[in-house]
Structure 1
Amino acid sequence: MSFEFRILMFGIGTALVIFVIIADMSEVEEEIPNIGDLQKFHFKGFMHPTNSSLGLNAAHTPLVTFRKSKVSSSVTPLPYLKGKTSNSSSSEWTFNRTLSNLIRKNILRFLDAERDISILKSTFKPGDVIHYIFDRQRTTNISENLYHLLPTASPMRKQHYRKCAIVGNSGILLNSSCGDEIDSHDFVIRCNLAPVEEYAADVGLRTNLVTMNPSVVQRAFQDLSSEEWVERFVHRLQSLSGSVLWIPAFMAKGGEERVEWAIRLILLHTVNVRTAFPSLRLLHAVRGYWLTNHVQIKRPTTGLLMYTMATRFCDEIHLYGFWPFAHDPDGKAVKYHYYDTLTYHYTSSASPHTMPLEFRTLSALHRQGALRLHTGPCKPPT
């Protein structure tokens, strides 16, 4: 086979992957509801101070098997083993540093989380137009307040940690007694401003980075519809105390007003957080990596995004609260979130996420020692 023919075939294969990503993304439904139909709370005088914004049986679910990629010679897909999903909090787990380093190396071919964790002040100026990631026909503008909170350098610049915990929000955490173990990690990542104080024994208190989808303002804080909800929201932000607050502001049309509310409150109350707004290429880059490894996800969940990025900063990654099933291994009902009554159809074709598939993938990585997936109670300290 001639060199020119191989180059041609590689180009065709790469084009097909790009086509699949674009086609699939166009089918993803917007995760954030239209704010125009919701009750709005109108802030008075909130301006910058210096300016006048799975009941499935997991044990019988086959795991993903990865094959050699036919479309990219630059990345070696990971050879995972078939097996059964089981309670992953096993004392037999051993960290596989070689595999962890290989995953980091391959992910870095798609994205560099130190750079892609946030757009920077030098990239935009107030008034600049940005196209939404999931709705390229619709745009938003960089407000004066948002620009004020853009970091001048990556909040994770030159950061590296030996052990990191990523805490998901599944009800599997309830009565787990994992709080102290989670807090013992060198760096703790949490998702969507989940409450911690009243659940500290199970989920811990330490937070170094936390995500906040704009829809959280509506779901968890009633769209700031009263002074009481504003105070609760501000209290939660103030409790972060120097943490990185990661706000995906440019994913889909509908959340821009909530983002602006949060930004105004941060500025008004001089909240001690380091804000980050993910780059416009991050989601596509993360999805591209997993597609190359034959994980056919529509849109990565926040948990999978955080794991993918954390490989850049962390040697050993531990996952807690990742359980996309309606029942635990003993058949007991598990809440979707440990802190509310929200329900979700994990396998719904209308969902933008494929949580059971992600979980099976993470289970495979757990069994090979690339990460540790904690799905059972934590042992009390001795």
Structure 2
Amino acid sequence: MPFEFRALFLGIVTMIVVFVIIVDISEVEDAIANIGDSQKHYSHSSKPSRSAALGQSLRTTPHSKTEKRLSEPHSKTEKSSPAPHSKTEKSSPAPQSKTEKSSPVLHPKPDTSSSTQSTGNQSTPALPPAWAFNRTLSTLIRKNILKFLDPERDISILKGNLKPGDVIHYVFDRQSTVNISEDLYRLLPTASPMKNQHHHTCAIVGNSGILLNSSCGPEIDSHDFVIRCNLAPVEEFVEDVGRRTNLVTMNPSVVQRAFQDLSSEQWRRRFVRRLQDLSGSVLWIPAFMAKGGEQRVDWVVKLLNTHTVDVRTAFPSLRLLHAVRGYWLTNGVQIKRPTTGLLMYTMATRFCEEIHLYGFWPFHHDQRGRQVKYHYYDALTYQFTSQASPHTMPLEFRTLSSLHRQGALKLHTGTCTSPAA
């Protein structure tokens, strides 16, 4: 009897399960039918879908509210940033106006106007002679950059953020790491080297051969703050490039290219003398960007710790390069990796009111067709449009040229006659 009862019970349970499965299948079929009907009805509707509307908006109005929505993740990130970042933004100008939406600062295009001159196998843009500073646009650019980064904070990692032995992942090689040494830790600043700094005029000096015979040295030195790139020599070229230096960058590769990897006592003395010439400047060393320069960084920090050198060292934050690239990409400038010059301009907007650029010229000939060296101080050759290069220099130059024409910055690409007023 117990066996028969169990068999009966099992049969009832089986029937219930089968019934439930049939009901579920029926409901799924009804749902599929409803979805099909709604899609047919929606495809004949005059109102486009949200995704279709978004796609159309991006195609036809690149500066519309859609672009603002795409930037919102950065704004949310900013809300969680430390107080200095948010306080700075609060002191920025009023919310973005219609000028920002239509501003040709975004999506710069090649210059095809009559001001473009052909020089051999390339075309080089000729900048208009008249220039007036556009304070409104400059302020707007500063405000927008602050949505992505705060250069005062991101210019350097601080002592309180790391300790000896900490492991750092390289920015462009996340699989590779480096340990923070005692020597490097001693050189980390305790506060931002640009804290509370504000300057009326700043000069950013690139290293193009366009500076040779320019006589721009006195004009460059007349600016309130001078930024130079990659520890370029100045003493032999003072008339053209000036001498004043308030901040200078130094990629680890400079140690190999300009100082023979400090392979002898003579080269080490020459390197130390160059650092001593900086006399109180900020020495900005991108030590954690890519693997390969760690040994050169070690050599440099050991020399700095064992010699009397009056410099303030800075090591850029790990988020800086991606934040700068994100700003320009969001504004339609499709750069691969920002050059040192573009990095310095982006950061200088934080603490400089009026920015002047010298030695920015990514072309083999000047506007008169004369050959231009890649660097003003050596014989290095370079293909500005090389696919292997991580940089897009001509595109960056067109972007800066666009900003020049609008008065946001001033590009100096010719000779200088007298110091800036």
Task: Give the TM-score, by structure 2 length.
Answer: 0.73
**CA–CA distance in structure 1, aligned partners of residues 285 and 232 of structure 2:** 14
Equivalent pair of 1:169/1:321 in contact (CA under 8 Å): yes
1:80: how far off? 1.2
The aligned counterpart of 1:107 is: 145
Task: Give distance in 2, aligned partners of 1:77 and 1:127.
Answer: 47
Distance in 1 separating the partners of 2:398 and 2:62:
12
Query: Is the CA contact (8 Å cut-off) linking 2:220 and 2:419 kept in structure 1?
Result: no
Distance verdict in 2 for CA 1:259–1:176, change over 3 Å: same
Alignment: residue pair count: 321
CA contact (8 A) 2:159 2:185 kept: yes
Equivalence map 1:89-128=2 (5 Å): 90=129, 92-128=130-166
Any idea what SS the aligned residue of 2:204 has?
strand
Q: Corresponding residue for 2:336?
A: 298
Change (3 A) 1:284 1:330: same
3-state SS of paired residue (1:311): helix
Letter in 1 for 2:372: V
Q: What is the alpha-carbon distance in structure 1 between the residues aligned to residue 391 and residue 128 of structure 2?
A: 25
Q: Contact conserved, 1:222 with 1:229, CA < 8 A, in 2?
A: yes
TM norm structure 1: 0.81
Matching residue within 73, 76, 79 for 2:103: 79
**Aligned residue among 368, 374, 379 for 2:412:** 374
Amino acid at match of 2:103: P
SS in 2 for 1:251: coil
Q: What residue is the counterpart of 1:138 in the other structure?
A: 176
| Alignment-derived partner of residue 154 in structure 1 | 192
Contact 1:66/1:79 (8 A) holds in 2: no
Distance 1:196 1:183 in 2: 12
The structure 1 segments of at least 4 consecutive aligned residues displaced by more than 6 Å after TM superposition are none
3-state DSSP class of the match of 2:287? coil
What runs of 5+ residues in structure 2 fail to find an aligned partner?
A: 1-49, 56-60, 76-95, 117-124
Q: Give the % identical residues.
A: 76
Match of 2:88 in 1: none
C-alpha separation between the residues in 2 aligned to 1:89 and 1:80?
Answer: 16
For residues 177 and 103 of structure 2, what CA distance do their matches in structure 1 show? 41
Tell me how far apart the structure 1 counterparts of residues 136 and 296 of structure 2 sit (CA, whole Å). 43
Q: How does 1:50-89 map to 2 (within 5 A)?
A: 67-68=63-64, 70=67, 71-72=70-71, 79-80=103-104, 83=111, 84=113, 86-88=125-127
Match of 2:277 in 1: 239
Q: Is the 8 A contact 2:222 2:419 kept in 1?
A: no
Deviates more, 1:118-127 or 1:76-85: 76-85
Cα distance between partner residues in 2 of 1:208 and 1:367: 27
2:203 pairs with 1:165: yes
Closer, same or farther in 2 for the Cα pair 1:381/1:109, shift >3 Å?
A: closer
- Counterpart residue number, 1:56: none
How well do the aligned residues superpose, as a CA RMSD in angstroms?
2.1
Q: CA deviation at 1:301?
A: 0.0
How many angstroms apart in 2 are the aligned matches of 1:271 and 1:185? 24
Q: Counterpart of 2:384?
A: 346
- Distance in 2, Cα, partners of 1:200 & 1:126: 40
The structure whose residues are more often helix, as a share, is 2
Q: Which amino acid aligns with 1:156?
A: M
Which protein, 1 or 2, shows the higher relative CO under an 8 Å CA cutoff with sep ≥ 6? 1
> Where in structure 2 are the equivalents of 1:149-298 lying within 5 Å?
149-298=187-336
Q: Which amino acid aligns with 2:104?
A: Y
